[in-house]
C-alpha cells in the first residue's frame, strides 16, 4: 500500500529517511489522468530505484488564460489504483496552496529555450513547467527523475535547468508509448471524439513519412518538413501549429539531420492540441 503525502515538508522528510537507509529515490512527476505512457515511466523508475515517488499535481502556472486548466482530466482514485498495482511507494498529492503559497513571486525561466516549439505557441507555459519541476525537485529530492520523450521540448528545458542550477538529480528520458494504431498516448486524447481520434493519426503519419524519407537518404530539413506538411494537409480538419526539425538540446532549427535532430509536430484536432515527435541520432542517419 503506497503512502499519500500532501505536505511538502513531510514529503522531503520521507525521501531523506529513505536515502539515509541507502535507498535510491526515483521520481515521476505527473498531472494525473494516468495512462500507459506514465506507467512506462513508473516501471523504469521501479527498475532503477529502491523507492518510487509519483506526484499528481495539475499545475495552474503552465496553462494559458484560454487553455484547458479547468477541464483538464482529474481522476485521482483511478490514478491511485493504477499506481498501487505498479507498486509505487508514495504519491505526492499537494494542493495549489501547498505548491504556491500566498505571495509567491519567484519564477524559474530557462531563457533561450522556453520560447521555442510549444513555448512559442503557449507563452509562459515553460516558465510554469520549469518553476513547478524545480519546486518538486526541491521537495522530493530524488536521485533520478523520469520523463517521457513525447514532451521533447520540456525534456530539453529541464535538462538545461538541472545543469544550470546544479540540481543533484539524474534525468532519465523514456521512449514515447503509442496506441496500437500509432497515436502517441496523451491525457488529452480523452477529449477526442471517435472521428477526431481517427483524424489525430495524421500526426504520427507525418512523422512516419519523414522516417521513410530519411531511410531513403533524404537529409534536408526543409524537404522533410514540406513532405510532412503535405501529409497533414490531407486531413483538413486538423490545424497545424508547427512542424519543425531542431537540435534536440538547444531546440534551434537545423538545415540538415545528418548530425541527428528532433522532428517535432503540434496540431489542433478540434480544440485539442496534440504533440508528437521522432528523435534521430547521428547514427540513425545514413
Q: pLDDT digit string (tens) for 122-175?
A: 999 999 999 999 999 999 999 999 999 999 999 999 999 999 999 999 999 999
Residue 38 among the catalytic residues? yes
* Burial (Cβ within 10 Å: 0-12, 13-18, ≥19) of residue 277: buried
pLDDT of residue 278: 98
pLDDT single digits (tens) 181-190: 999 999 999 9
pLDDT of residue 282: 80
What does DSSP assign to residue 184?
B
If residue 278 lies in a helix (H) or strand (E), which one and from where to where? Answer: strand 272-280
Q: Which residues of 223-256 are buried (b: 16+ CB within 10 A; e: fewer)?
A: ebbebbeebbeebeebebbebbbbebeebeebee
pLDDT of residue 2: 82
Cell numbers describing residue 154:
520540456
First to last CA, the chain: 49
Q: Are strands 51-56 and 272-280 parallel, antiparallel or unpaired?
A: unpaired
The confidence band for 285, taking pLDDT boundaries of 50, 70 and 90, is: low
CB within 8 Å of 262: residues ≥ 6 apart: 152, 245, 246, 247, 248, 251, 277, 278, 279, 280
142: nearest Cα among 127, 124, 158, 119: 158
Catalytic pick among 35, 38, 78, 125: 38
Whole-prediction pTM: 0.96
Geometric angle at alpha carbon 118, from 224 and 111, rounded to 5°? 110
Amino acid at each position: 500500500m503506497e503512502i499519500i503525502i500532501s505536505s511538502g515538508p513531510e514529503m522531503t522528510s520521507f525521501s531523506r529517511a529513505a536515502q539515509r537507509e541507502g535507498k535510491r529515490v526515483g521520481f515521476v512527476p505527473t498531472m494525473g489522468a494516468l495512462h500507459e505512457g506514465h506507467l512506462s515511466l513508473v516501471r523504469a523508475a521501479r527498475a532503477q530505484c529502491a523507492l518510487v515517488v509519483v506526484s499528481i499535481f495539475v499545475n495552474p502556472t503552465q496553462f494559458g488564460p484560454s487553455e484547458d486548466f479547468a477541464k483538464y482530466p482529474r481522476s485521482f482514485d483511478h490514478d491511485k489504483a493504477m499506481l498501487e498495482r505498479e507498486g509505487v511507494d508514495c504519491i505526492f498529492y499537494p494542493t495549489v496552496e501547498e505548491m504556491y503559497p500566498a505571495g509567491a513571486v519567484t519564477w524559474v525561466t530557462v531563457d533561450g529555450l522556453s520560447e521555442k516549439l510549444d513555448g512559442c505557441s503557449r507563452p509562459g507555459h515553460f516558465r510554469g513547467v520549469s518553476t513547478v519541476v524545480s519546486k518538486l525537485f526541491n521537495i522530493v529530492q530524488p536521485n533520478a527523475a523520469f520523463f517521457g520523450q513525447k514532451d521533447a521540448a520540456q525534456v530539453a528545458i529541464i535538462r538545461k535547468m538541472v545543469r544550470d542550477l546544479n540540481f543533484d538529480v539524474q534525468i532519465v528520458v523514456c521512449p514515447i508509448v503509442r496506441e496500437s494504431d500509432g497515436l502517441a498516448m496523451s491525457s488529452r486524447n480523452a477529449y477526442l471524439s471517435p472521428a477526431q481520434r481517427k483524424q489525430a493519426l495524421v500526426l504520427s503519419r507525418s512523422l512516419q513519412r519523414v522516417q521513410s524519407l530519411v531511410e531513403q537518404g533524404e537529409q534536408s530539413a526543409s524537404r522533410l518538413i514540406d513532405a510532412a506538411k503535405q501529409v497533414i494537409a490531407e486531413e483538413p480538419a486538423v490545424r497545424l501549429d508547427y512542424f519543425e526539425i531542431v537540435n534536440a538540446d538547444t531546440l534551434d532549427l537545423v538545415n540538415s539531420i545528418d548530425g541527428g535532430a528532433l522532428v517535432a509536430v503540434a496540431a489542433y484536432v478540434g480544440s485539442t492540441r496534440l504533440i508528437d515527435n521522432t528523435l534521430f541520432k547521428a547514427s540513425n542517419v545514413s
